[in-house]
Chain A
Amino acid sequence: MKQKDTAEILIDCQALWKIFGDRSGAAMSAVTQRGLTKTQVLQEFDCVVGVADASLQVRRGEIFCIMGLSGSGKSTLIRMLNRLIVPSSGRVLVKDRDLAGLNAAELRQMRARHIGMVFQSVALLPHRTVLENAAFGLEVQGLPKPERAKAAEAALRQVGLGDWMQRYPSELSGGMQQRVGLARAIAADPEIILMDEPFSALDPLIRRQLQDEFRQLTKELGKSAVFITHDLEEAIRIGDRIAIMKDGAIIQVGTAEEIVLNPADAYVADFVAGISRLHLVKAHSVMVPVTEFLKGSPGRDIAGLITTRPEADIDELIGLTVRSEDGAIAVAEEGSVVGVVTTRNLLLGVKGTPAAAPDTGIARRA
Chain B
Amino acid sequence: MDSSIVVTTFDTWTDAALGWIGDHGGALFDAISAVLEGFYGALLWLLDQPPDYAVALLVALLGWRLIGARFALLAGLALLFCAVMGLWSETISTLALVISATILALLVALPTGVVAGYLPRLDAAIGPALDLVQTLPPYIYLLPAIALLGYGPATALAATVIVAMPPAIRLTALGIRMTPPEYIELGQASGITPMQMFFKIRLPFAVPSIMAGINQSLMMAFGMVVIAGIVGSGGLGATIYDAIRKLDIAKSIDAAIAIVVLTMVLDRLTQSASQVRQEGNP
- Using a CB–CB distance below 8 Å, which chain A residues touch chain B? 82, 84, 107-113, 115, 117, 119, 121, 123, 125-127, 136-137, 139-141, 168-171, 194
Contact = CB atoms under 8 A, between A and B. Distances in A.
Nearest to B193: A108
Contact of B182 (A82, A110, A123, A127): A123
Contact of B188 (A109, A111, A139): A111
A21 B196 CA distance: 30
Contacts of A82: 189
Nearest to B204: A127
B280 to A, nearest CB: 7
B186 A119 contact: yes
Contacts, number: 60
B282 interface: yes
A125 B191 contact: no
B10 interface: no
Contact of A125 (B185, B193, B201, B280): B201
A110 B189 contact: no
Contacts of B201: 125
The 3 closest A-B pairs by CB, nearest first: A112-B191, A127-B281, A111-B191
A137 B191 CA distance: 8
Interface string B172-196: 0000000010110111111111001
Chain A CB count within 10 A is highest, among B190, B201, B280, for: B190
Contacts of A125: 183, 200-201, 204
Contact of A108 (B183, B186, B191): B191
Given A84-B189, A125-B204, 13 more contacts: A82-B189, A111-B191, A112-B190, A117-B190, A125-B200, A126-B281, A127-B281, A137-B191, A139-B200, A140-B187, A140-B190, A169-B282, A170-B282
Given A126-B281, A168-B282, A121 B182 contact: yes
Given A125-B201, A168-B282, A107 B185 contact: no
Given A121-B182, A140-B200, A127 B190 contact: no
A18 B193 CA distance: 25
A126 B186 contact: no
Nearest to A107: B191
B185 A108 contact: no
A126 B200 CA distance: 12
A104 to B, nearest CB: 9
9 contacts: A112-B192, A119-B185, A123-B186, A136-B190, A137-B190, A137-B191, A140-B196, A171-B282, A194-B189
Interface string B192-218: 110010001100100000000000000
Given A127-B280, A140-B196, A111 B204 contact: no
Nearest to B278: A127
Contact of B185 (A123, A141, A169): A123
Interface of B: 180, 182-183, 185-193, 196, 200-201, 204, 280-282
Nearest to B281: A127
Nearest to A117: B189
A110 B185 contact: no
A84 B188 contact: yes
B189 to A, nearest CB: 4
Contacts of B185: 84, 119, 123
Contacts of B200: 125, 136, 139-140
Contacts of A113: 191
A2 B190 CA distance: 35
A295 to B, nearest CB: 58
Nearest to A139: B200
A111 B196 CA distance: 15
Nearest to B201: A125
A113 B190 CA distance: 9
Contacts of B281: 126-127
Contact of A109 (B189, B191, B196, B282): B191
A121 B189 CA distance: 14
Contacts of B186: 117, 119, 123, 136
B194 to A, nearest CB: 9
Contacts of A127: 204, 280-282
A141 B191 contact: yes
A169 B191 CA distance: 22
A168 B281 CA distance: 9
Contacts of B193: 108, 140
A161 to B, nearest CB: 17
A199 B270 CA distance: 41
Contact of B191 (A121, A126, A140): A140
A5 to B, nearest CB: 30
A112 B201 CA distance: 16
A164 B200 CA distance: 22
Contacts of B191: 107-113, 137, 140-141
A112 B193 CA distance: 11
Contacts of B183: 123, 125
